[in-house]
């Protein structure tokens, strides 16, 4: 498989992975079992990937990781506000 | 900041992010709020990143994503076995 396609698919999957978790949290309003520390570390790492993409002018890395930052920040907001 | 260092730090953070979640699950034995679909999609994406690293012979990408695959597979195993 062409490595660019492989990288795009891998990036897309790891970016949208948070979506089912976010939908579940929005439906159940339960976040007790989620780790806030995981979300903080993940958001920090993903933000650095966005910075990395900006430095290297790599749009796929910028877009996929920026989307993941958004999803995980909403998750963290839910975690801090739902309190269940 | 040198982009390689930035990439290494970003990769390390996104890889170890699952660790606090795993420790929390092992301590509480509660996984009800975790999304199995998230874990399946994440493991698939991370596995493709390992493949991508192998094709490009990039050890940092191979190691960080292989470690993340391991952590998330243990999380998925806990999610499927703890049933709480």
Average pLDDT on A27-35 reads 93
The label of the residue with tokens 């439906």 reads A27
Residue A39: closest CA among B20, B46, B64, B76: B20
Structural domains of chain A in order of their starting residue, each with its CATH number: 3-82 (1.20.1280.290)
pLDDT of residue B30: 92
Measured distance CA(A62)–CA(B32) in Å, rounded? 32
Cβ of A80 under 8 Å from any chain B Cβ? no
Digit-coded pLDDT (tens) for B40-71: 999 999 999 999 999 989 887 898 899 999 99
Closest CA–CA distance from residue B37 to any residue of chain A (Å) = 6
Tell whether the model's pLDDT for residue B84 goes beyond 70: no
Alpha helices in A1-84 (DSSP H): 3-16, 18-28, 36-56, 59-82
Chain centroid to Cα A67, Å, comes to 6
Pick the range with the lowest mean pLDDT from A21-30, A31-40, B58-67, B70-79: B58-67
Q: What is the pLDDT of residue B60?
A: 79
Cβ of A20 within 8 Å of Cβ of B37? The answer is: yes
Pick B42's closest partner by Cβ from A17, A32, A55. Answer: A17
Residue B75 pLDDT greater than 90, yes or no: yes
CA distance B11 to B15: 6
Note the pLDDT tens digit of each residue in B23-38: 999 999 999 999 999 9
Work out the average pLDDT over B11-17.
Answer: 93
* Residue A50: φ, ψ to 5°: -65, -45
């Amino acid at each position: 498989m062409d490595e660019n396609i492989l990288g795009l698919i891998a990036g897309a999957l790891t970016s949208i992975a948070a979506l089912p978790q976010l939908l579940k949290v929005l439906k159940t309003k339960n976040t007790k079992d989620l780790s806030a520390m995981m979300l903080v570390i993940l958001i920090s790492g993903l933000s650095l990937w966005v910075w990395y993409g900006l430095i290297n002018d790599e749009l796929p890395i910028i877009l996929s990781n920026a989307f993941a930052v958004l999803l995980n920040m909403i998750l963290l907001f839910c975690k801090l506000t739902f309190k269940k």
